[in-house]
Chain A
Amino acid sequence: MKLTGKAWKFGDNVNTDVIIPGRHLSTTDPKELARHCLEDLDPTFTSQVQPGDIIVAGKNFGCGSSREHAPLCLRGAGVSCVIAQSFALIFFRNAINLGLPILECPEAARAIQAGHRIEVELSTGQITDRDTGHTFQAKPYPEFMLKIINAGGLVPYTMKQMNAVNGSGT
């Protein structure tokens, strides 16, 4: 699957409190959450983000609270993918579980500039900066995680597993 979008560039330790502040957690609706996505870090983000845009960030993206509202609101805002130097553990699982593509690629995360047109081929992990022509290779997912991604997230994956165990097939 190919994703294309404009890069939004952020630094290290983008935590889930700035992705979606605690004061807005009295809803679980992705569209409602998206109205406040990253507002404390970049007040222009919610009004200017376009469907398909890609977040490019530094180390430890998604650290802090385990709130799944963070990947939900990024998806609700239309973000197609997050590329970072590294991800915090809980955010990493949450994104995979909800089917938000995330790619660990320190080289791309350092080189890509804000506003550049980025192309990501998810099946191979190849990232292309169309403004500079540079290509980067993201770290491949472990095979087990690919199964969750290909199933469309942890819930459909688990349902498939349970059906297989119960012998009820499809």
Chain B
Amino acid sequence: MAMTLAEKILAAHAGLKHVSPGDLIEARVDMVLANDITAPLAIGQFQRLNVPGLFDRQRVALVQDHFVPPKDIAAANQCKLVRSFAREHGLAHYYEAGKTGGIEHVVLPEQGVVLPGEVVIGADSHTCTYGALGAFSTGMGSTDVAVAMATGRIWMKVPETIRFIYEGGLQPWVGAKDLILYTIGDIGVEGALYQAMEFGGPVIDAMGMDGRFTMANMAVEAGAKAGLFAVDDTTLDYVRRRTGRPFTVYHGDPDAQCALVRQYDVSEIEPQVAFPHLPSNTRPVSQAGHVSIDQVFIGSCTNGRISDLRLAARVLGGRQVDSQVRCIIIPGDATAYRQALAEGLIETFVEAGAMVGTPSCGPCLGGHSGVLGEGERCISTTNRNFVGRMGHVKSEVYLANPAVAAASAILGRIAAPAEL
């Protein structure tokens, strides 16, 4: 019987010939991850399990990214706990900020730690990012992750698949972020609840890996369990440049059943802005009206990769950030940082009047490095704009692509790059 890409991967990892949506399965996991916020809880639960050790020290990854460098003593203590656990268990994949570190969902693909066809679970909701590689990856809580760290297995309900097809020619300054915001605006924040989103069509075929990571990253903002892309030459080229580790490529059957198929003509899609306080509250940038801003943030696991930084630099190059605006740019990992340095992008940012930070999650979740005060507004390339997400309960976050964020930094209000 025909199966979708998600079903093929899950069946193989459950040792079954066939799975259908709704089946409860126990699957083998290829990689388990947690960060400095979620690992401390997972470590506590892992210790309660009283097992001799990790199921495989090559298949557990810990990344220090949320509150690094530590924002206060409590955060430092959490980082310390994660570090000593990594040392005690001889973890093969442990990342401090600096070196090759940065945001987990930027670092792990970049370091070849997550691969096509794998099942990955992580104690972070944006673990769905690796669906860009044709992996089945999904966010869970710390307790699920602790059990997977001990057993290498996880129970799951096989999700239905819904398919999104993108056709037509992209308008200038429209990219992956706009397509995913538009899609979430269309189906809503629970439009894909419990389901796997599968992205395809000629626009996706022509899209680079960075864009695919951006789209897969936000699948959870529509309620989805995973967001998957078919493996093609773009994927294989990306992976082979980073690792020699073997992997299996699965292909969904063309006649596999999907719960829903949506087709979009992208030529009708403008750069999108998600207004407070839901990622689905989207409008074309031309209909944003006059919204003055206090802060711009370019970075995160959604848009902190080298292509995003290049896009921001194209807009900021030779221009100046508005004197009333705090513009924060944070490369997603050390590799992107070094590449941006080599290409002169960091100099462009600093010359334009932006602040450039150490790779980390930065202000995305309102912990440090750009927390918003009462009534402040931020346009951000991140993935969530919930009430209080980035600071004060009366602050506001607007989500957009890096070019729109950069143009807004220059004009001091939400603006399209075409206005410059």
Count contacts on B: residues with CB < 8 A to the other chain.
54
Tell me the bound Cα distance from A162 to B193 in angstroms.
32
Say which one of B2-10, B106-114, B136-144, B304-312 lies at the interface with A: B136-144
Residues in B with CB closer than 8 Å to A68 are: 38, 41, 123, 141-143
Contacts A25-B37, A144-B24 hold; do A88 and B49 have CB atoms under 8 A apart?
Answer: no
CB neighbours (8 Å) of B155 from chain A are: 144
**Cβ contact within 8 Å between A89 and B278:** no
B141 touches A155 (CB 8 A): no
Q: Which of B50, B146, B387 contacts A17 (CB 8 A)?
A: B387
Contact yes or no, A93 B141, CB < 8 A: yes
Shortest C-beta distance, B13 to chain A (Å), equals 18
CA–CA, A88 and B143, complex, Å: 17
Give bound CA distance, A23 to B144, whole Å.
Answer: 24
Give min CB distance, B97 to chain A, whole Å: 16
Chain A interface residue count, CB cutoff 8 Å, equals 41
Which chain A positions have C-beta within 8 A of B75?
26
Chain A nearest CB from B105 CB (Å) reads 12
Is there a chain B Cβ closer than 8 Å to A114's Cβ? no
Is B131's beta carbon under 8 Å from chain A?
Answer: no
A 55-68 binary contact with B (CB < 8 Å = 1; else 0): 00001100111111
Q: Does A94 contact B (CB under 8 A)?
A: yes
- A159-B50 contact given A13-B278, A86-B190, CB 8 Å threshold: yes
Contact in complex: B67, A26 (CB < 8 Å): yes
With A and B bound together, what is the CA distance between A98 and B140 in angstroms? Answer: 13
- Inter-chain contact A89/B225, CB cutoff 8 Å: yes
B189 within 8 A of A: yes
Shortest Cβ distance from residue B2 to the other chain A in the assembled complex, whole angstroms: 25
Task: Return the contact of A13 from the options B44, B141, B190, B389 (Cβ within 8 A).
Answer: B190
Interface residues of A in 43-100 (CB under 8 A from B): 59-60, 63-69, 71-72, 86, 88-90, 93-94, 97-98
Q: Is the CB of A88 within 8 A of B393?
A: no
Pair B141/A23 contact, Cβ less than 8 Å: no
Apart from A60-B223, A67-B37, what 10 extra A-B contacts exist at CB < 8 Å?
A15-B384, A26-B71, A27-B74, A39-B393, A40-B393, A67-B38, A86-B190, A88-B193, A89-B194, A90-B140
Top 9 closest pairs, chain A to chain B, by CB: A22-B365, A94-B141, A26-B74, A40-B388, A68-B141, A97-B143, A66-B125, A60-B190, A40-B393
B positions within 8 Å CB-CB of A: 24, 37-38, 40-41, 44-45, 48-51, 66-67, 71-72, 74-75, 77-78, 122-125, 127, 139-144, 146-147, 150-151, 155, 189-190, 193-194, 220, 223, 225, 278, 365-367, 371, 384, 386-389, 391, 393
